[in-house]
């Protein structure tokens, strides 16, 4: 029993480390592409061609001073980012990396991902409410509204694939594509899904939820 728990813990740790490194370097790649588009250098100081920039950013994040608003509900204010971060990781538990290499295979894997991603919204609205600041709460409401609106469209897009496969099992959906990838016959849906992910993640061109100074200026 203890050995199985240890093996499970090691698998979870490896998955989390892999995801954090992958996200860090995908962010670096995004910054490099944006720098080329905007005709500037981008991150190129730390390491060769800026390859150590994600490690520097992670270290800076860990050693930053924790500032809590004086009027905030400190317990909820600290729990909110933990909730959002945790839900962004546990969704990967049902995603297969290879054949029969799923951490936890369930028949409703696709529905599980949609449900887990929806819970992350509560962390954002909770952080804005716990701060006891009307401006922070306004920003949380705008961010939540954007995430919910794009998540509904994402859900409709994904449901089409599930209906065609007659299954919510992700391994079954992958098996259905052994002869033809779905993005070829469903290219409009693929483009729609790709574009909606930027809006749901509040990436470039959808980051108005982070522009609180612009919002306050307009108010």
Question: Which pairs count as long-range contacts for 12-16, CB under 8 Å and 24+ apart, including other chains?
Answer: 12/103, 15/92, 15/93, 15/103, 16/89
- For residue 125, what is the enclosing H or E element? helix 109-130
- What does the radius of gyration of the chain's CA atoms come to, in whole angstroms? 20
What is the mean pLDDT of the segment spanning 19-40?
83
Specify whether 12 is located in the same domain as 90.
no
Are the C-beta atoms of 214 and 185 separated by less than 8 Å?
A: no
- For residue 11, what is the enclosing H or E element? helix 2-37
Specify whether 89 is located in the same domain as 195.
yes
Q: What residues make up the domain containing 177?
A: 68-218
pLDDT at 219 over 60: no
Model confidence at 62, in pLDDT bands (50, 70, 90)?
Answer: confident
pTM comes to: 0.71
Q: What is the mean pLDDT of the chain?
A: 78
Tens-place pLDDT, residues 139-148: 788 878 877 8
pLDDT at 209 over 60: no
pLDDT value for 205 = 59
Straight-line distance from the first to the last Cα atom of the chain, in angstroms, rounded to the nearest whole number: 59
Specify whether 133 is located in the same domain as 45.
no
Are the C-beta atoms of 89 and 112 separated by less than 8 Å?
A: no
Specify whether 111 is located in the same domain as 171.
yes
Specify whether 6 is located in the same domain as 79.
no
Tens-place pLDDT, residues 81-140: 888 888 888 878 788 877 667 777 778 878 888 888 888 788 888 888 888 888 878 878
Residue at which a domain ends, from 35, 64, 93: 64
Helix 109-130 × helix 134-165 angle, to 10°: 180
Specify whether 59 is located in the same domain as 74.
no
Please count the structural domains in the chain: 2
């Amino acid at each position: 029993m203890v050995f199985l728990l240890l093996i499970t813990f090691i698998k979870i740790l490896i998955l989390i480390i892999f995801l954090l490194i992958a996200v860090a370097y995908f962010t670096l790649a995004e910054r490099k592409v944006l720098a080329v588009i905007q005709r500037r250098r981008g991150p190129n100081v730390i390491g060769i061609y800026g390859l150590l920039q994600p490690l520097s950013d992670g270290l800076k994040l860990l050693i930053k001073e924790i500032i809590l608003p004086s009027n905030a509900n400190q317990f909820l204010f600290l729990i909110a980012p933990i909730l959002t971060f945790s839900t962004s990781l546990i969704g990967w538990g049902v995603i297969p990396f290879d054949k029969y290499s799923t951490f936890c295979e369930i028949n409703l894997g696709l529905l599980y991902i949609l449900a887990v991603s929806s819970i992350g919204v509560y962390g954002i609205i909770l952080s804005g409410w716990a701060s006891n600041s009307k401006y922070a709460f306004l920003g949380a409401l705008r961010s939540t509204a954007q995430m919910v609106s794009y998540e509904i469209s994402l859900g409709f897009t994904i449901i089409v694939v599930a209906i065609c496969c007659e299954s919510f099992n992700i391994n079954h959906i992958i098996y259905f594509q052994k002869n033809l990838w779905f993005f070829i016959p469903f290219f409009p849906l693929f483009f729609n899904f790709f574009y909606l992910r930027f809006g749901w993640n509040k990436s470039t061109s959808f980051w108005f939820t982070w522009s609180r100074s612009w919002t306050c200026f307009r108010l």
